[in-house]
Structure 1
Amino acid sequence: MTPTHRDEIMPTARAAHSSPPLVVLFSANPSSLTRLDLEGELQDIVDELEGVGLEGVLALESQSATTPRTVQRALLVERPTVVHFSGHGRGRGARPPRRPGRAVRDLVPDPAPARTTGIMLHGDHDADLKVVSGAALGDLFAKAGSTVRLVFLNACHSAEQADALVQHVDFVIGIDGAIEDEAAKAFAVALYRALAFGRTIEASFELALNALMLEDLRDDRTRPILRCRRGADPRRARLVEPPPRDDGRAWDVFISYASADEEPVRRLAEELHHRQLRVFFDRWEIGLGEEVRQRLERGLDGCTHGLIAMSPRTMTRPWVQAEYSALLDKATTHGRLLIPVLIGRETTTLPPFLRARRLVDLRGLTTEAYRERVGDIAQALRGRRPGPPSRLRRRRTRD
């Protein structure tokens, strides 16, 4: 469905054929400051999206030991939709943490009013750290951040920077006060989970606040804040469309297979279902007493794409031949996908049309490799190509 309001689905500057929104996660923990579990924060986000079957819905790229130069470079080269900063922040005064002994994203040892407030990054040269002010960040995003729709400053005392940034970015999340490392991670995980599920910016922010309450990490002296540029509506804006509901009338993919291969096909169907895809697998969609042919035809008519599980037995079955013919017509007439997937252990001969298609081989894989291949299938069914590797991850860090 085409959005009717500019804020309903945030555009991404990447290829127009529906690449996922790019989230660049910057982290900085200069050696002179308290060590924070910033790598753990990124891994928790990745693990959570994988856990709910939404890996790849958001394209996550990370840069550790971030310097001012790498931030500017990333905005110019990567053109992200979301920019996330994790690390320390410096405010105009420090308050003691709610629970002494816990790591806090704050310069607690210096209670005097700070001369320069901002986000703490690594220095570009010999300097251990660099304080980047809200004014400097705002100026950067005004000049090089035209694709950015959301900035998340996951650092203490970043509300002031959020106020400066929101003049140039639709939505900015910051922290008013000093936040514990554990709370900062929990908030980030809940925020990106909700965004990946297609919740609006406001709803995602509220769910992240709720996560702090559920985990007893809320501190009344510290609160995440959401700032919105004039004209940007957080109640409508979202990064991605919500996963469609399983309504029994439409499916993302129809799986065609020989009944003798039910066991490996069921595993594949379950993996795709876990990734929030609507799967027509006949064992799930044909109830007792229902007419089989009618229900299969309904599935073929209502599916967007097709997947055929290939083994030596597949094309010898009349049912599969009929399904293949219908899916082939969709592929050639309407440009839909028909993905050949090799299962079992035997060598399989593909029909001419499938031989010209990029296939997926699930035979003899480890569990990790299997899930990675199924993830590739899920991405294809969502209309996304693999794309090139991240430019950020290859860069040398300065930890």
Structure 2
Amino acid sequence: MANPSNLNDIIQRMLNGNQSDEDVEALRQWLNSGGIQNLQVGKYNVNIGQGQDIHIGDRTYQGLNAEAIREVARAVIQGSNATDIREIVRSILKEESQNLAQRENPQSSSRKTILVLASSPTNKARLRLDKEVREIDEGLRRSQHREKFTLQQRWALRPDDLRHALLDFNPEIIHFCGHGSGDDGLVLENDAGLAQLVPTEALANLFKRFATRGLECVVLNACYSEIQANAIAQHIDYIVGMSSQIGDDAAIKFAVGFYDELGAGWSYEDAYSGGCDAIALQGIPEEHTPVFKNLKKKST
């Protein structure tokens, strides 16, 4: 039978994720003996002072550790093994840490992540993507609602980089800047930095899955990308594509105008209009090249 001294060692190993089946069995026997203060044991009922600190011998467990111990106790009584316990502890500590971070900084949970994906293969015409991204960043930094957005960037984008970036950042907004190739797809890069086409259907299927994870808007700031926009618009609420070729200056002005509007607190549709206005105000005759797709309007 475990005593408070070696029980603390067992619990510490569990919290660190390196317990054995023998540790689990020792804890199970101790729990069944009614060893913890305020412990109630039934076939599926274990309650170790819910919401309270846990005292074992001369040690006190608080906060996340106490919550993890409560969940471990429930699982042990119900017959879980060491592998199950390890996953339970990992899951509880991760989830509770995220909840704690949100409670400490409630504004962080309301931030929208803008993920900029840039691709300019060496065997294609050079684009001034650095200028485009820099001006987006500067515009957001000086905007009225700058605290509502986080800008993330991925450069020299390869197909696997695209997947990884979506998984890493789970963005609400995606901004692709680079080359488009109409029916052939969007132009990313291969390992050698040369052009690699991503088919429209593959792109749409990828974004479809992330629509259920919070992806709201996709901007394809690339020539002839309306074809991809039409496909993606079947799944994403708001999307911008280009109906024809678009010059560097127009593409940059559109991007700046779009994010200036978002940073000022306006809607995605307003942002689209602001981007088109930014092109027109410069006297660039390409303000009708960007096209806006709204899945919500289409479905009503």
Normalised-by-shorter TM-score class: 0.5 to 0.7
- In structure 1, what residue type is equivalent to 2:207? F
- Residue 195 (structure 2) aligns with: 129
**Aligned with 2:148: secondary structure?**
coil
- Residue 227 (structure 1) aligns with: 293
Matches of 2:265 and 2:128 in 1, distance apart?
28
**Aligned with 2:122: secondary structure?**
coil
- Residue 142 (structure 2) aligns with: 51
Q: Percent identity?
A: 28
- Residue 88 (structure 1) aligns with: 179
Checking the alignment, whether the CA contact within 8 Å between 2:185 and 2:199 is kept in structure 1 is yes
Following superposition, the deviation at residue 142 of structure 1 comes to 1.7
Matches of 1:145 and 1:15 in 2, distance apart?
23
- Residue 18 (structure 1) aligns with: 107
Q: Does 1:39 align with 2:106?
A: no
Following superposition, the deviation at residue 190 of structure 1 comes to 0.6
Following superposition, the deviation at residue 55 of structure 1 comes to 3.6
- In structure 1, what residue type is equivalent to 2:295? R
Question: In the TM superposition, what are the counterparts of 1:334-349 in structure 2 within 5 Å?
Answer: none
Matches of 1:230 and 1:52 in 2, distance apart?
27
Q: Larger deviation: 203-212 or 52-61?
A: 52-61
Match for residue 269 of structure 2 among 189, 192, 202 = 202
Checking the alignment, whether the CA contact within 8 Å between 1:82 and 1:149 is kept in structure 2 is yes
Question: In the TM superposition, what are the counterparts of 1:102-113 in structure 2 within 5 Å?
Answer: none
Structure with the greater relative contact order (CA < 8 A, sep ≥ 6): 1 or 2? 1
Following superposition, the deviation at residue 134 of structure 1 comes to 1.8
- In structure 2, what residue type is equivalent to 1:193? D
Going from structure 1 to structure 2, the CA distance change for 1:49 and 1:233 (only over 3 Å counts) comes to: farther
Following superposition, the deviation at residue 232 of structure 1 comes to 7.1
Following superposition, the deviation at residue 50 of structure 1 comes to 2.8
- What per-residue deviation string (whole Å, max 9, x for no partner) do you get for residues 280-299 of structure 1? xxxxxxxxxxxxxxxxxxxx
**Aligned with 1:216: secondary structure?**
coil
- Residue 76 (structure 1) aligns with: 167
Checking the alignment, whether the CA contact within 8 Å between 2:229 and 2:293 is kept in structure 1 is yes
Checking the alignment, whether the CA contact within 8 Å between 2:124 and 2:195 is kept in structure 1 is no
- In structure 2, what residue type is equivalent to 1:165? I
Following superposition, the deviation at residue 78 of structure 1 comes to 1.2
Going from structure 1 to structure 2, the CA distance change for 1:58 and 1:203 (only over 3 Å counts) comes to: same
Question: In the TM superposition, what are the counterparts of 1:377-396 in structure 2 within 5 Å?
Answer: none
Q: Does 1:193 align with 2:284?
A: no
Checking the alignment, whether the CA contact within 8 Å between 2:121 and 2:193 is kept in structure 1 is no
- What per-residue deviation string (whole Å, max 9, x for no partner) do you get for residues 341-366 of structure 1? xxxxxxxxxxxxxxxxxxxxxxxxxx
Matches of 2:156 and 2:269 in 1, distance apart?
30
- What per-residue deviation string (whole Å, max 9, x for no partner) do you get for residues 120-172 of structure 1? 1011x347221112211111112244221000000000000000001111111
Going from structure 1 to structure 2, the CA distance change for 1:218 and 1:28 (only over 3 Å counts) comes to: same
Following superposition, the deviation at residue 68 of structure 1 comes to 1.1
- In structure 1, what residue type is equivalent to 2:197? V
- Residue 140 (structure 1) aligns with: 206
Checking the alignment, whether the CA contact within 8 Å between 1:186 and 1:212 is kept in structure 2 is yes
- What per-residue deviation string (whole Å, max 9, x for no partner) do you get for residues 76-132 of structure 1? 2211000110001112xxxxxxxxxxxxxxxxxxxxxxxx52111011x34722111
- In structure 2, what residue type is equivalent to 1:201? Y
Following superposition, the deviation at residue 73 of structure 1 comes to 1.3
Q: Does 1:168 align with 2:257?
A: no
**What TM-score do you get using the length of structure 1 for normalisation?**
0.46
Going from structure 1 to structure 2, the CA distance change for 1:24 and 1:233 (only over 3 Å counts) comes to: farther
Question: In the TM superposition, what are the counterparts of 1:171-320 in structure 2 within 5 Å?
Answer: 171-219=238-286, 223-230=289-296
**Aligned with 2:141: secondary structure?**
helix
Query: What is the root-mean-square deviation in Å for CA atoms of aligned residues?
Result: 2.3
- Residue 119 (structure 2) aligns with: 28
**Aligned with 1:173: secondary structure?**
strand
Going from structure 1 to structure 2, the CA distance change for 1:126 and 1:43 (only over 3 Å counts) comes to: closer
- In structure 1, what residue type is equivalent to 2:107? S
**Aligned with 1:172: secondary structure?**
strand
> Which structure shows the higher helix fraction?
2
- What per-residue deviation string (whole Å, max 9, x for no partner) do you get for residues 33-67 of structure 1? 11111011110111222334544431101111011
- What per-residue deviation string (whole Å, max 9, x for no partner) do you get for residues 230-279 of structure 1? 45799xxxxxxxxxxxxxxxxxxxxxxxxxxxxxxxxxxxxxxxxxxxxx
**Aligned with 1:18: secondary structure?**
helix
**What TM-score do you get using the length of structure 2 for normalisation?**
0.60
Checking the alignment, whether the CA contact within 8 Å between 1:72 and 1:144 is kept in structure 2 is no
- What per-residue deviation string (whole Å, max 9, x for no partner) do you get for residues 280-332 of structure 1? xxxxxxxxxxxxxxxxxxxxxxxxxxxxxxxxxxxxxxxxxxxxxxxxxxxxx
Following superposition, the deviation at residue 229 of structure 1 comes to 1.2
Question: In the TM superposition, what are the counterparts of 1:297-376 in structure 2 within 5 Å?
Answer: none
| Structure 2: gaps (5+ residues) | 1-100
